[in-house]
Structure 1
Amino acid sequence: MANFITIPDFSTELGSPDKPVPIIKITWLKKVNDAVKNGDAICELETERATLELESFYDGYILSKNDKTEVRYNDILCIVGNKGEPYTQIINDYEKSRINEKLKQPLYTIENSFETFSNRKIDLIKIIFKWLKNFSSNKKSTYSFS
Structure 2
Amino acid sequence: MQIRNPATDKCVDSAVGEDIENKPVGPYPCHGQGGNQYWMFSKDGEIRRDESCVDYAGQEVMIFPCHGMKGNQEWRYNPDTSRLQHTVSQKCLEMSKDGAKLLMSPCDASNQFQKWRFKEYNQEKANEYKVQMPS
Give the TM-score normalised by the residue count of structure 1: 0.23
Larger Rg: 1
Give the TM-score normalised by the residue count of structure 2: 0.24
Answer 1 or 2: which has greater helix percent. 1
